[in-house]
Structure 1
Amino acid sequence: MIKTLYVRVVLTFLAAVIFGLVSSFFLTSFFYFNLVRAEVQDEMDNDGREIVQMYTLLSSEIKSEYLKSSGLLTNYYISLYDGEQNRTVHGASAPKEEVQLSHQEISQVLNGNTYRSVIGFPDKIVVGIPFVMNEERFAMFFQKGNREGILQKEIFTSLLLTLFMGSLFIFVAARYVVRPLREMTDATRRMSKGDFNMDWKLIKRKDELGVLALSFREMARSLKQLEQMRQDFVSNVSHEIQTPLTSISGFSKVLRNRLMTEEERIHYLDIIQSESERLSRMSENLLKLASLESEHHPYQPHTYDLDEQIRRVIVSCEPQWSAKEIEFELAMASIKISADEDLLNQVWINLIGNSIKFSPKHATIRIDVKRTINEVIVSIADQGIGISKEDQGRIFERFYKADRSRTGEQSGSGLGLAIVNKIVLLHKGRITLQSASGEGSILTVTLPSVPSDFPTL
């Protein structure tokens, strides 16, 4: 039970209250000792001297009555000692805890010294006054009656009452403090079961718990998105792999037909080979993407000519763009960049390959490479089918295809741009898109020119 936050909060609050009350009591008692007690002693000393002075002037017949009446009026318990330390008592009734004076203390007053003492709790204040009457020494001691230490008693009672009422309040208030945390605990249990809906009243609060609840809701939303992405990823992988496997399996069964002509056999074998290569590329891209997303991907930057690299990629794609009679317009300055050449080569292959794939015959692709003070900017503009505004925000997601109806040479796995985006981010750069359906696309890659944390050769 002690392990629960509620009990810990209550015990912490109680410990704080008790510590505060005890500290207050002792501090109050300290000031009382230095201020109130001193005033009481001074008052008793003055009253005692007046009583002694009057006592010495009265006749012996009325001395006893005088002390009795004076004690009752002042609430003093009066003890009178003669030179032989014989004692008589007068005035108020004996206190519940009468101070027992030693012979040495009595002798001290009889020898002419004033006596003052504060004993125990509650306070038992005693004042002793010496005087001489008929050439005989006397000592008169004054002690407060049954109301001694009343201030300390009241303070102590008040503090105990405060502790009791404060404890009751803490038991109730702690439930209010802990309740939001219990709601969050319940929410974590629901999240573990797949329920990410966090519609709490706590979010409207402006205190730390409100901020925590708001952060909790944002975390729940992120987890919900991740869960949806995971489900989509599994679904897309299953679908993308299943399609070529179905084709390979189906056409393999067709090839068992012995009545098939050689031309048909070759056609079906070409389809099986094409689907196998597609499946291989998909597996390779998945492995590459997983490697890029890990923290242990090999990264080997060095300084090289970026414009020459892009020219080599264009030349390697000649069979694709020459078949469509596509022309290239190049505006590339001689620029050196510090980056991983192999990774960036994959970026240009994917981007230029997509531009060729989705451009019509006799189209023009323009590539611009320029440098600013701290950045290198590469823009690839085509005259292809373009991308709608609805799809532009998702084209860098894995397996996302802006045109799901495309087939044949335009088909793909939807992993190319995801890999491109990851490589660009790995180089601390960014990639942006400007496009509209039927109006072509402009993909712009912005990279640091010479990052300070990249080694150069």
Structure 2
Amino acid sequence: MKIGIKFKLIAFTASLLLVVISFLSISVLNGIKNYQHKQDQATLFKQKDMFEQYFSERSNLGENGTSNKAQLARGSIFNKPWLRTIPASVYDTKGDLLSGFKVDGKLNENKDKNLMIKYAIQGKVSFIKNNNVIYFYSPIKYKNGIVAILELEYSVKESSLFYDNTKKMFYGTGFLALIFGVILGIFYFSNLTRDIYIMKDSVENIRKSDFNKIQLVNRNDELGELSRGIVFMSNTIEKNIEDLEVERDSLSLAIDKLQKMDKEQKEFIGNVTHEFKTPITIIKAYAELIGMYENDLSLINDGTLNISKECDRLATMVDKVLNLSALEKYDFETQKKEVNLKETFDEICARIMGKINKNNLTFNCDVENIIVTIDEESLRIIIINLIDNAIKYNRPNGSIDIECHKNGNKITIKVADTGIGICKKDLYKIFEPFYRVESHRSRETGGAGLGLALVEKLVKKQQGTINVDSKLNEGTIFFVEFSI
């Protein structure tokens, strides 16, 4: 059977109070009893000394005119007021009664009188208590000789009554003090144990991971410190659990990402193999034809031109594959610095104007003169690839428009063309590696479907966003945003 702490504390308090009250009561009552006993002895011995003094004075007179000392006791001994304060009897040395004085007229009710008289005759003092009366027996000496035996009957009724009343008062007061102390203990320990039970419930709620039910006990003692410690522990455990859940979710996402990356890697390797195989096959075919027809200058010129184109295509693909691979492996590496966007765009446009003019395209560039902190090299690759796609998939005599402006805390870059456009069902695929909307045109222009995949990686690396809006046979617009 489980006994609660409240019952234990109240039981302990009641037991402690009972022990303390009993100890104090017994100690005080024993002290009173001992004090009364000493007072009684002092009174009896004082009365005995007065009798010896009286006999001494009478014996001195007797030496001058009276020779029988026993006659002294039969004379006017009890006519003296100071010898009549305590009922007394005087016996001779043989134990015969010489004289006596008692208030109620009753003499010699002590059943052990004869024995105690014998002790007194032997020079010993003895006394016994019987029915609230102390019977005191002592020899009366004169010049080292026993001349009589004194019996005193000292009533201790009043002192016994006082002791009994005091005893009742102590027991009654002690009982009331015990009841009062237990009641106070119940009230005090109820509050104390209530706080303990609150902390117990809090610990139980922590065990159940129910952190919303943790209560703080407002006390300025050790229990208050313990309660604050439990609340702190609860908050720490809750935070750790939340962190573990976040870590678990992150780990789950990482596992999903690894599985996805593994799948994408396999697809990527397959696509790379396929894409590399085509130009290599073309190069090998022309090399064999040139070897077979060494004197055909037209074939040699055509083969050399195609081999050069396919080599350029291979070089471009290798460069972009390496860039994608580097982004996957070193995604955390950035080199940000302050960049003047207008100067950067002007430099890029100057480098690519030859290709634009070759394709007979109209080019417009409207860039705001602003300075931002960004990875300049990544920005160059993004812009060059977007312009390069706008050139490749544009129409003859088409146009390319570039804008870059600041909107609040964002930089918005817009690259628009009047090209062939992209079908809506294909828009979500264009950022996948090796995906090409029109594969035959991509091959004509040397595209391998890696440019936009690289652009998306670089934009995300800069914590930016890229979106596309396109209409088939009307054109395509790319929107890139960076926070500043």
TM-score of the superposition, structure 1-length normalised? Answer: 0.50
Greater helix proportion: 2
The structure having more radius of gyration, on CA atoms, is 2
State the TM-score, normalizing by the size of structure 2.
Answer: 0.47
